[in-house]
Amino acid sequence: MNLIDTHSHIYDEAFDDDRDAVVARAAEAGVATLMLPDIDSSSRERMFDLARKYPGMCLPMLGLHPTSVNDNPHWRDEIDQVERLLHEPPAERIYGIGETGLDLYWSSDFLAEQSEAMRAQIELAIEGDLPVVIHTRSAWEQMISLISDYKSRSLRGIFHAFAADVATYRRLRDCGDFVFGIGGVATFKNSRMEPVLQEIPLEQMVLETDAPYLTPVPFRGRRNESAYVTYVCQKVAEVKGISPDEVAERTTATARRIFRLG
């Protein structure tokens, strides 16, 4: 099996004691590539350290997470830093912009700032011909409204940790070249995701863990890791009535297309 975990934060401190073992378990499980979404400057060096240690396997992105915008007085400097790192030669290859997005779960006070930060990052993505990795929590209406502005701008990207309904999927699908990141939530008994998993074609679907968060069944409640993307693959296969191998092959092709992995 050849899987890509399109969203893994295993540079997080939660893996400080056993990160190499976690990478090894991913490889053993057939997860050949781990895409690393950036959060902000506080964890960026750890992300690049991991990418340098596993070149060709752990592939970094650059961006500013919406919850790192909120009451951070320096969020504009953070965006400037992302832009500098994208342009400063000799740059490492950067595979995407993100994660960015809107997160109104903790507070809705920073919608304007999060939107401005997201729009700035979308411009960087378009300019660099990179996919944008989008985080959305308690903000689908605001997200659809924002992303609709880019319909004619040849933007591509991933709605990461997608767990919304069929109607939301259909509205987003028409906003650009977007694919949908399916993770551990799909395995939760109460997720009610079967209809949307049936509807999204594998050509618009990528698999992810969001490790260390959103751990799939049967490990729900424990730390997530990239090897567990196999459980997400299994679930999608069950719902679509096809083999896990076919899900792996076709979602990996989708990920390779969206990240331009050659």
Q: Shortest gap between Cβ of 99 and Zn ion (angstroms)? A: 5
**Closer CB to Zn ion, residue 11 or residue 244?**
11
Q: Shortest gap between Cβ of 160 and Zn ion (angstroms)? A: 6
Interface positions, 22-41, toward Zn ion (CB under 5 A): 37
**Closer CB to Zn ion, residue 38 or residue 244?**
38
Q: Shortest gap between Cβ of 210 and Zn ion (angstroms)? A: 5
**Closer CB to Zn ion, residue 37 or residue 157?**
37
In 3-state terms, what secondary structure has residue 249? helix
**Closer CB to Zn ion, residue 68 or residue 187?**
68
Q: Shortest gap between Cβ of 64 and Zn ion (angstroms)? A: 12
228 vs 224: CA distance, rounded Å? 7
* CB of 65 closer than 8 Å to CB of 39: yes
**Closer CB to Zn ion, residue 67 or residue 244?**
67
Total residues belonging to the chain: 262
Q: Which helix (H) or strand (E) holds 84?
A: helix 75-87
Cis amide prior to 90 (ω within 30 degrees): yes
Residue 58, φ and ψ in degrees, nearest 5: -105, 110
HEC per residue, 192-236? CCHHHHHHCCHHHEEECCCECCCCCCCCCCCCCCHHHHHHHHHHH
Residue 235, φ and ψ in degrees, nearest 5: -65, -45
* CB of 218 closer than 8 Å to CB of 189: no
Pattern 35-74, Zn ion, x by CB under 5 A: --x-------------------------------------
| Residues binding Zn ion: number (CB under 5 A) | 1
Binding site for Zn ion (CB under 5 A): 37
